Amino acid sequence: MNNNIKKILKPARRIKLEKEIKASIKGGVLMFMKNNPLTETPKFGFWKIIFSQKLKPAYISILSLVAVLLVSGAVSAQASLALPGDILYPVKVGVNEKVLQVLAFSDQAKIKLSVRLAETRLKEAEKLVVENRITKDNQMQINNNFSAKADEVSKSINKLNREKMENSAQKIADDFNKTLEIHTKVLEKIQQEKDKSDKARDKNRENVDSIINRVNSVRDKINADIKENKIKNEKKAEEIRQKANEQIQKIKDKIESNKAENNTENNIENNTEK
């Protein structure tokens, strides 16, 4: 049990938080504490227990750790709902999702997580468009974050192809393409509805089109990679077939040559006996 916990925590220690993420966590904790003030009770108040002179230092450390974990857990849960531009969004992508990456041990789990996170970026875009909160800044943020996850998926597909797992690579590519196609249509549909009533439709349309174009470019790249790998694999297979046929022909020629030699020797022996 302890070994399993150490195995999980060891890679987690390598996660380094950027300054903006640290600041975001601090801001989120302060905001949570402000919105959820502790109710003071005369006899058993939490902080009175913490600062009680009768309480041993070891208990103070444990209770402080519990308090930090509870607040951090609440912030992390709240961050999971954050959208680009929200104060807790850096916590979502810089902490929550990095933890998920650490816990994805197998290659298959990593691929599934990359696909899921790429889809999450598009769902965030859809919510922002619906709420009229799409801007140039968060549109660029979505594009960059989406591209990063899509690149991970693309690299995984290429790796499977190199390892002669073409069927698995094709299935992942097909499923990912279908997912991207669905979200592209959703974004287009949402924007079409917005175009009918929204005064700022031109600016919104530009931002949405940028996201859709990025998605389409990712789809084109994945399809091109699949096609290229397919051609390479077919070429290699053809080379193998040719080499095999050459070897077979050499064996046949050798057999025919041996037959001819044997026939010659038999003819000589027959003539000698006569």
> Which tokens go with 200?
């700022």
- Helix, strand, coil distribution of the chain in percent, nearest 5: 85, 0, 15
| Among candidate residues 60, 81, 103, the one where a domain is terminated | 103
> Which tokens go with 230?
């397919």
| Among candidate residues 59, 88, 103, the one where a domain is terminated | 103
Give the range of the structural domain holding residue 79, as residue numbers without chain letter: 1-103
CATH number of the domain that 157 lies in?
1.20.58
Residue 270 lies in a domain: no
Whether residues 77 and 111 fall in one domain? no
Residue range 208-234, pLDDT digits in tens? 888 989 898 888 888 888 888 778 777
Residue range 190-206, pLDDT digits in tens? 888 777 665 556 667 88
Q: Which value, to the nearest 10 degrees, does the dihedral of the CA atoms of residues 121, 127, 130, 136 take? A: -50
Whether residues 8 and 120 fall in one domain? no
Residue range 40-90, pLDDT digits in tens? 555 545 545 545 555 555 544 554 544 444 445 566 677 788 899 889 898
Q: Looking at 142-156, 213-227, 253-267, which range is the least confident one?
A: 253-267
Residue 167 lies in a domain: yes
Residue 269 lies in a domain: no
Residue 86 lies in a domain: yes
| Among candidate residues 103, 137, 156, the one where a domain is terminated | 103
